[in-house]
Amino acid sequence: MIIAIDGPAAAGKGELTRRLAAHFDLARLDTGLLYRAVGWRVLAEGRDPADVAAAVAAAKTLIPAHLDEPELRTEAAGSAASKVAAIPAVRAALLDFQRDFAARPPLGKTGAILDGRDIGTVICPDAPVKLFLTARPEIRAERRAKELQAKGTEAIGSAVLRDMMERDARDRERSVAPLEPAQDAFVLDTSDMDADAVFAAALDYISRKFV
C-alpha cells in the first residue's frame, strides 16, 4: 500500500500521516524534512538558499543524519526549504531517495506513506491513495502560530500568515513540481475540522476506494 499526502503548510498533513502510518503499519516519510535539511545546510554555510550551486551540492551530499537536526522545524528552515525546493536540480537529487523509500519501505514494512507537495503528482504518481489537504490561509497561520507558541517560540499571527502566503506562492508558482492536487486526488478542506474528523474522513475515503 502506498499513500500520498500533499497540501500546503499547516493543512493537517503531518498529524494525518502519523495516524494513517500507525493505523496501517506503514513506513512514514516526511519529505519536507529533506528540503528543510538542504535549506538549513546552505544557511549554515552562510550561503543564500537561492544559490543554485550551494543548494545542489547540499542536496547531493545529504545523508539521513542531517534529518535529525532540531532546527529543521523552525520557520527559517521552512522558508529556506521552499527556496531550494524551487531549484530543479535539487528536486532531481532528492527524487531517487523518495521513490526508493516508497518502493522498498524500511523496517520490514509492507507499505509506505509519504507527505509533501508533489507526492501524488511526481514522486508516486501511481499511488492507489492520494489525499490533498488544504485549509484557509488564516486558519493555517493560526494553527502554525499556536504550534510555535507551544514550543516556546514567539509567534505573531500576522507575521506567520505573511510568511506562509509567501511560501505558498513560491510553492505554487515554481516551474517544477508545483504544489497542486493530482487529478485523481481526494481534496479535503480541513478548515473546519479537527484532527479526529480529518482522520475519519481519510479512513472513510480509503475504505470506499478498496471496496
Q: Is residue 29 within the footprint of ligand C5P (CB under 6 A)?
A: no
What is the separation of C-alpha 208 from the centre of its chain, rounded to a whole number of angstroms?
25
Interface with ligand C5P in residues 109-128 (CB under 6 A)? 116-118
Binding part of the chain for ligand C5P, among 45-53, 79-87, 104-112, 155-163 by CB under 6 A, reads 79-87
Q: Is residue 81 within the footprint of ligand C5P (CB under 6 A)?
A: yes
* Contact map string, positions 36 to 65, toward ligand C5P, x by CB under 6 A: x-----------------------------
Rounded distance, CA 150 to CA 146, Å? 6
Choice from 20, 29, 35, 134 touching ligand C5P (CB under 6 A): 35
Interface with ligand C5P in residues 3-22 (CB under 6 A)? 9
Q: Is residue 167 within the footprint of ligand C5P (CB under 6 A)?
A: yes
Q: How far is the CB of 80 from ligand C5P (least distance, A)?
A: 9
Q: How far is the CB of 176 from ligand C5P (least distance, A)?
A: 9
Residues that bind ligand C5P (CB under 6 A): 9, 31-32, 35-36, 78, 81-82, 85, 116-118, 167, 171
